């Protein structure tokens, strides 16, 4: 299985980087998992809706440059399907069977552009709550690890 977690921005806190490194290390026994970061765009103070859309569009262009034509893309957003852990594990099994690189996209602080959402094959939600995108990266990697453990029939804490 080949999975790319595509994100806007760098992790600023050491605990976030450490957690991501740990889960990527654990995931390495199940396939190729990588995190690719694109730069976040600065948002002007008191930005108008049009300025915020421009920021999202520039971030979206950077994200789309990292997506290959044959990739299967899931955009992480609140308005997506919200599987439980076993449901996500089932999806991962289906992705693996398809044999395509899976790209899971986490947007910046403003979310994902319309162009990225249009390119996505699926939208996934991990909650109706909004999470900081750096924390969402840790949560996503943990859930991918949990799904791999489930699919391998291995025990993982509840």
Using CA atoms, how far apart are residues 100 and 25, in angstroms rounded to an integer?
Answer: 22
Whether residue 157 lies inside any domain: the answer is no
What per-residue confidence (pLDDT) applies to 157?
65
Whether residue 83 lies inside any domain: the answer is yes
Kindly report, residue by residue over 17-40, the tens digit of the pLDDT. 999 999 999 999 999 999 999 999
- 51 neighbors 77 (Cβ within 8 angstroms): no
Whether residue 141 lies inside any domain: the answer is yes
The CATH number of whichever domain residue 39 belongs to comes to 3.40.1280.10
The total number of structural domains in the chain stands at: 1
Whether residue 158 lies inside any domain: the answer is no
What per-residue confidence (pLDDT) applies to 155?
87
Whether residue 134 lies inside any domain: the answer is yes
Q: What is the pTM of this model?
A: 0.93
- 63 neighbors 40 (Cβ within 8 angstroms): no
Using CA atoms, how far apart are residues 139 and 133, in angstroms rounded to an integer?
Answer: 10
Range of the domain at 69: 2-151
Whether residue 6 lies inside any domain: the answer is yes
Contacts of 46 (CB under 8 A, 6+ apart): none
Kindly report, residue by residue over 67-122, the tens digit of the pLDDT. 999 999 999 998 899 999 999 999 999 998 988 999 999 999 899 999 999 999 99
Whether residue 98 lies inside any domain: the answer is yes
Whether residue 78 lies inside any domain: the answer is yes
């Amino acid at each position: 299985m080949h999975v790319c977690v595509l994100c806007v921005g760098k992790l600023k806190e050491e605990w976030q980087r450490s957690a991501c490194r740990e889960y990527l290390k654990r995931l390495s026994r199940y396939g190729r998992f990588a995190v690719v970061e694109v730069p976040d765009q600065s948002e002007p103070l008191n930005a108008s809706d049009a300025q915020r859309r421009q920021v999202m569009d520039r971030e979206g262009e950077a994200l789309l440059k990292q997506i290959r034509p044959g990739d299967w893309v899931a955009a992480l957003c609140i308005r997506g399907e919200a599987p439980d852990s076993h449901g996500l594990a089932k999806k991962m099994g289906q992705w693996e069977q398809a044999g395509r690189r899976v790209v899971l996209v986490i947007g910046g602080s403003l979310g994902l552009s319309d162009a990225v959402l249009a390119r996505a094959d699926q939208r996934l939600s991990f909650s109706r709550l909004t999470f900081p995108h750096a924390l969402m990266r840790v949560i996503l990697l943990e859930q991918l690890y949990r799904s791999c453990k489930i699919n391998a029939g291995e025990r993982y804490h509840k």
